[in-house]
A and B are shown apart, each in its own frame.
Chain A
């Protein structure tokens, strides 16, 4: 598209049906102990 370049093909709404298995890492176990950082984590099934 001439005017718009889209960076991602996946959309959040597509994860509604299959999501929520809970196997992913708990956010505070990574490197944030005083903030909440969830969006930067990776889905366990897409590793």
Chain B
């Protein structure tokens, strides 16, 4: 990888596979050792090779000079031909042509297409790492009224332009503490979508404490996705996710979540946990979920202040990387045995993934995606709620501070210097703006520890694809 220019090729070895990622086309090549060395050598010489420069006599001569002791000339010529072929096809040494395109994308008029409704700023758990401070978001306890919720849905419809699919997440705090309003808003949304030719995709994020048969039935009928919060093994979960009286929540919640997941045919949900410095061996928590029968699993690193004892530190990264490697290998083995499961951060769709416009634009917070407080205030996303500097307007008057939306709109992988040299920039789209703000006081930076983890996850996700595409190799190889 080079510093100072946009990285073009990323090579790495994982689980016995030699992998070459052509960063700007997204092409993934699994190569033998000689091709790995040849591509590495060519890239070190000139990141901006073209079919023409690759065909030059001096390129081959230089390659032979560097690698002839290891490989013979005939082999090197053969690999060079293959490299030229891929370069001509736009799958290797592809230039980053998107910087001009991002200007065009960002000038497009954006519409609001998703809302995170803070249906309850209150919670029946007292999770120690909660960014919402036990649901209160640095403010008072409050429940969203039906009237405010209706205005939020009206605001979404009115500001959604031609977008048909609109997303609404019932979030908190704990949304089941205001369940009747959730149900009433779903009913209202279903009425309105017919009138305006829209389609609401409702989702619910819950800790499960109040989950019962009635909730389950409604959720299965109306919610496109449910996010079920649980951290993993009993001792891990109960340490960080106790009730207000200190008692653990695992025993009450797990059977309810198992029942719900089964009733949804193990689809359209995530069992979602957070790992902290207290369980850096989090691959065991993922496997615990798999053993409990869950098929859609997500475990994310905690984001905490440096002073928080549970916060991830830079010195924890080597162990975290090992855990991701263990998890990736285990997932390959299980998949081959027909016992596979999905891990959210290893999901990668090499054929049908998002377009470049989406990958450049990021998560859409502050423009396409807004959070609504119980009293109807609008913020760029749920993580900014409570910080008055980011108060953008309200559901009655709409966006009253368009300059905040403009700042979020201007944010992309090209507005962040660190992203230019990062091979993973088209997978995370520049990272979480709230995290950047938290650590650097600007949304135009990155949270470096998170970037390191994201790069590792992308490497693991690609390795899994390579392993599963490998029909001939049935056994997982040891890392070289």
Chain A contacts to B: CB under 8 angstroms: 1-13, 15-16, 18-20, 22-44, 46-47
Which residues of chain B are near A8, meaning CB under 8 Å?
26-28, 350-351
Which residues of chain B are near A33, meaning CB under 8 Å?
171, 205, 227, 300, 382-383
Tally of contacts, chain A with chain B, CB under 8 A? 222
- When the two chains form their complex, are residues A39 and B355 in contact, meaning their CB atoms are under 8 A apart? no
- When the two chains form their complex, are residues B270 and A34 in contact, meaning their CB atoms are under 8 A apart? no
- When the two chains form their complex, are residues A15 and B355 in contact, meaning their CB atoms are under 8 A apart? yes
Report if B1 contacts A (CB, 8 A): no
Interface residues of B in 88-127 (CB under 8 A from A): 90-91, 94, 97-98, 101, 105, 108, 110-111, 113-114, 116
Report if B254 contacts A (CB, 8 A): no
Which residues of chain A are near B364, meaning CB under 8 Å?
26-27
Which residues of chain A are near B357, meaning CB under 8 Å?
15-16, 19-20
Q: Which residue of chain A lies nearest to B227 when distances are taken between CB atoms in the complex?
A: A31
Chain B contacts to A: CB under 8 angstroms: 20, 24-32, 34-35, 78-79, 82-83, 85-86, 90-91, 94, 97-98, 101, 105, 108, 110-111, 113-114, 116, 131, 163-165, 167, 169, 171, 201, 203, 205, 225, 227, 270, 272, 274, 298, 300-303, 344-359, 362-365, 368-369, 381-383, 424, 426-435, 450, 454, 458, 461, 465-466, 469
- When the two chains form their complex, are residues A1 and B82 in contact, meaning their CB atoms are under 8 A apart? yes
- When the two chains form their complex, are residues B32 and A35 in contact, meaning their CB atoms are under 8 A apart? no
Q: Which residue of chain B lies nearest to A8 when distances are taken between CB atoms in the complex?
A: B350
* Smallest beta-carbon distance B312→chain A, Å: 11
* Smallest beta-carbon distance B10→chain A, Å: 14
Which residues of chain A are near B111, meaning CB under 8 Å?
22
* Smallest beta-carbon distance B83→chain A, Å: 8
The dominant DSSP class at the B interface is: mixed
Q: Given that A1-B82, A7-B28, A9-B351 are contacting pairs, would A38 and B469 also be in contact in the complex, using a CB cutoff of 8 Å?
A: no
* Smallest beta-carbon distance A35→chain B, Å: 5
Which residues of chain A are near B429, meaning CB under 8 Å?
27, 36, 38-39
Which residues of chain A are near B433, meaning CB under 8 Å?
36
- When the two chains form their complex, are residues A7 and B466 in contact, meaning their CB atoms are under 8 A apart? yes
> Which of A1, A10, A22 touches B368 (beta carbons < 8 Å)?
A22
> Which of A2, A30, A32, A42 touches B354 (beta carbons < 8 Å)?
A42
* Smallest beta-carbon distance B30→chain A, Å: 5
A/B interface sample: 10 pairs, CB < 8 A: A11-B94, A20-B105, A27-B364, A33-B383, A34-B302, A35-B454, A36-B363, A38-B359, A41-B349, A43-B354
Q: Give 8 closest A-B pairs by Cβ, nearest first.
A: A19-B355, A39-B427, A20-B357, A46-B352, A15-B355, A40-B347, A8-B350, A26-B114
For A25, A27, A35, the residue with the greatest tally of chain B CB atoms inside 10 Å of its CB is A35
- When the two chains form their complex, are residues A26 and B113 in contact, meaning their CB atoms are under 8 A apart? yes
> Which of A7, A38, A46, A47 touches B362 (beta carbons < 8 Å)?
A38
Please report the C-alpha to C-alpha distance between residue A2 and residue B190 in the assembled complex, in whole angstroms: 55
> Which of B79, B167, B227, B426 touches A25 (beta carbons < 8 Å)?
B167
If A7-B465, A31-B225, A42-B354 are given as contacts, then 14 extra A-B residue pairs at C-beta distance below 8 Å, sorted by A number, are A1-B85, A3-B34, A6-B29, A8-B351, A11-B90, A19-B356, A34-B434, A35-B303, A35-B432, A38-B362, A38-B429, A39-B348, A39-B359, A40-B344
Q: Which residue of chain B lies nearest to A33 when distances are taken between CB atoms in the complex?
A: B382
Which residues of chain B are near A10, meaning CB under 8 Å?
26, 350-353
- When the two chains form their complex, are residues B108 and A7 in contact, meaning their CB atoms are under 8 A apart? no
- When the two chains form their complex, are residues B300 and A35 in contact, meaning their CB atoms are under 8 A apart? yes
Please report the C-alpha to C-alpha distance between residue A41 and residue B359 in the assembled complex, in whole angstroms: 10
Which residues of chain A are near B113, meaning CB under 8 Å?
22, 26
Which residues of chain A are near B348, meaning CB under 8 Å?
39-40
- When the two chains form their complex, are residues B270 and A36 in contact, meaning their CB atoms are under 8 A apart? no
Which residues of chain A are near B298, meaning CB under 8 Å?
31-32
> Which of A6, A31, A35, A38 touches B301 (beta carbons < 8 Å)?
A35
Which residues of chain A are near B110, meaning CB under 8 Å?
22
- When the two chains form their complex, are residues A39 and B353 in contact, meaning their CB atoms are under 8 A apart? yes
- When the two chains form their complex, are residues A34 and B131 in contact, meaning their CB atoms are under 8 A apart? yes
Q: Given that A31-B270, A34-B300, A36-B428 are contacting pairs, would A13 and B94 also be in contact in the complex, using a CB cutoff of 8 Å?
A: yes
Which residues of chain A are near B101, meaning CB under 8 Å?
16
- When the two chains form their complex, are residues A6 and B91 in contact, meaning their CB atoms are under 8 A apart? yes
- When the two chains form their complex, are residues A36 and B430 in contact, meaning their CB atoms are under 8 A apart? yes
> Which of B90, B349, B358 touches A20 (beta carbons < 8 Å)?
B358
Please report the C-alpha to C-alpha distance between residue A20 and residue B110 in the assembled complex, in whole angstroms: 11
Please report the C-alpha to C-alpha distance between residue A22 and residue B354 in the assembled complex, in whole angstroms: 10
- When the two chains form their complex, are residues A12 and B25 in contact, meaning their CB atoms are under 8 A apart? yes
Please report the C-alpha to C-alpha distance between residue A36 and residue B426 in the assembled complex, in whole angstroms: 11
Q: Given that A5-B31, A38-B358, A46-B352 are contacting pairs, would A26 and B369 also be in contact in the complex, using a CB cutoff of 8 Å?
A: yes
